[in-house]
Amino acid sequence: MREIIELIQKFDPGAAIHWERGGRVGEPFSLENGAAQLSEWFEKVTMRRYEDGLAVTEVGPLVEYVNSGYMDLEGERLRACEEFVEREMESRGGVIRIGKDSGIFVSVKDDGSDA
């Protein structure tokens, strides 16, 4: 949901976003790199994408989602974020569109069995 990150960065370019905090060992598994990671173990790897999206028309639920999963906002900062999202929503015709890009990998072992 790239648009949420872009919205947060527009609100606060220096924001510490939860998923950026701390270090990860190795590269995270994603649609972009999953086939390469799985190909080490499977002869045939096929990705099937499922593209979808959200049309957000209410400020409150979007800010609550951002606050629960990406940032820790309280008091004045929370109100400032709500006002920012409201202005953004108004400037976009009353809706903020958020793309969802998900998928599944179908992998086949050398012996032909699915995994």
How far apart, in whole angstroms, are the C-alpha atoms of residue 115 and residue 108?
6
Q: What is residue 25's predicted lDDT score, i.e. its pLDDT?
A: 45
Q: What is residue 18's predicted lDDT score, i.e. its pLDDT?
A: 59
Question: At 101, phi and psi to the nearest 5?
Answer: -120, 105
Please check whether residue 113 lies inside any domain of the structure. no
The list of the chain residues with pLDDT below 70 reads 18-27, 111-115
How far apart, in whole angstroms, are the C-alpha atoms of residue 30 and residue 38?
11
How far apart, in whole angstroms, are the C-alpha atoms of residue 35 and residue 43?
11
Please check whether residue 27 lies inside any domain of the structure. no
Q: What is residue 55's predicted lDDT score, i.e. its pLDDT?
A: 96
Both tokens assigned to 80 = 């400032």
Both tokens assigned to 12 = 């606060």
Please check whether residue 7 lies inside any domain of the structure. yes
Q: What is residue 60's predicted lDDT score, i.e. its pLDDT?
A: 96
The pTM assigned to this predicted structure is: 0.66
Q: What is residue 22's predicted lDDT score, i.e. its pLDDT?
A: 42
Please check whether residue 75 lies inside any domain of the structure. yes
Q: What is residue 84's predicted lDDT score, i.e. its pLDDT?
A: 97
Number of folded domains in the chain?
1
Q: What is residue 114's predicted lDDT score, i.e. its pLDDT?
A: 59
